[in-house]
Amino acid sequence: MPRGGIVASLVVATRGRESLLARLLESISHLDPSAIQVVVVDQNLDDRVTRLLAAGGIEVLHVRVPWANASRARNLGAALARGRWIAFPDDDCWARSDTLPGLLAAIGYAEQVGATVVTGPIRDEHGEPHMRRWAATSRSLTVADIRECAIEATTVVRREEFLAVGGFDPRFGPGARFHAAEGDELLVRLDRAQQGWSGWYDTGFSFGHPRRVAGTDRASVRRTFRYAIGAGAAWGRHPRSALAGSTGYAIVESLGALLLRRPRPWLVADRLARAAGILVGAVLGVFTFHRPRERQERRRLQHLLHEDLREARVREWQRE
């Protein structure tokens, strides 16, 4: 087990999903607040989350902000958190029976071996892994393994190292220009800052998350395209990183599936949207992150967190 004090803080950015947030909070209501802290960064403009938390049942640090950007919200939550490690479950996740014990056990092992990052798989309502081609067994990992061993909702990072690199880039993630890939981009940037980090992927630690089936209708194809643009932009920002292999493989895999099978029309559109989105995102990423003024932009983003800390409205709710 990890050493004493608050081991981990669960930082949850939320907007417009109070019923799903209630499910997540209910699933972790049995946690030990001396070991795990919950931080909810509320991006709603009304009091829906305040009313939910006022009902009691769990200790929560409630942070209210007047803007909608998941990465910016997570960075603020991490800065206010007290845990040595920071996890970022989505507000539509839920804790399974083994989630919190698995998290503490994985962190305990990571602290023994000096790892910086802990990850685990995402599971659907039936307990089946999805959203990645997850490795089948627990293992050590590096940035080269993020395609099959990491995703934002189950990525846990040492707080000190997370803040040292500036956290998530607010230009990636829900509410940002590039809607996805904020976790991959963070792990690549962290790897460069530390000249290579070591991590631990643990199949005993997982969060539940709804399964979304790709290629079923126009809305699902648009979602694929939007997420693919994010993945491509991360690649465009870090063209010589491990993302080059993973995004290149995703393009080949998408187009190859069309040649080897006879998929239904919406699935064809989904695969084409994925490949096109990655390429479009890569071009946008190159022009966005390699322009002459990019250094000034990075400094502006660093100041943004300090401004958010001054302006955030914070309230701590106690268990009743």
Q: Which two tokens stand for residue 2?
A: 């990890």
- Residue 314 domain-assigned? no
- Residue 319 domain-assigned? no
- Residue 105 domain-assigned? yes
- Residue 111 domain-assigned? yes
Distance of alpha carbon 252 from alpha carbon 17, whole angstroms: 35
22 and 81 together in one domain: yes
17 and 54 together in one domain: yes
- Tokens 């005993």 locate to 204
Distance of alpha carbon 279 from alpha carbon 102, whole angstroms: 37
102 and 198 together in one domain: yes
Q: Which of 211, 231, 257 is the last residue of a domain?
A: 211
pLDDT tens column, 170-207: 999 999 999 999 999 999 999 988 888 999 999 999 99
179 and 53 together in one domain: yes
Q: Which of 211, 230, 249 is the last residue of a domain?
A: 211
Tally of structural domains, the chain: 2
58 and 199 together in one domain: yes
- Residue 306 domain-assigned? no
- Residue 304 domain-assigned? no
**What residues make up the domain containing 280?**
218-295
pLDDT at 129: 94
183 and 139 together in one domain: yes
- Residue 301 domain-assigned? no
Point out the residues of the chain with pLDDT beneath 50: none
Longest dimension (CA), the chain: 59
> Pairing mode, if any, of strands 199-201 and 139-141?
antiparallel
pLDDT at 196: 86
Q: Which of 145, 177, 211 is the last residue of a domain?
A: 211
181 and 40 together in one domain: yes
CATH at 86: 3.90.550.10
14 and 81 together in one domain: yes
pLDDT at 293: 64
34 and 120 together in one domain: yes
- Residue 146 domain-assigned? yes
49 and 155 together in one domain: yes
109 and 60 together in one domain: yes
E strand spans, the chain: 8-14, 36-42, 60-64, 85-87, 94-95, 117-119, 122-123, 139-141, 156-158, 199-201, 207-208, 313-317
pLDDT at 77: 97
Long-range contact set of residues 140-143: C-beta below 8 Å, sequence gap at least 24: 140/113, 140/115, 140/198, 140/199, 140/200, 140/201, 141/117, 141/198, 141/199, 141/200, 141/201, 142/191, 142/196, 142/197, 142/198, 142/199, 143/187, 143/188, 143/190, 143/191, 143/196, 143/197, 143/241, 143/242
pLDDT at 14: 98
28 and 107 together in one domain: yes
pLDDT at 115: 96
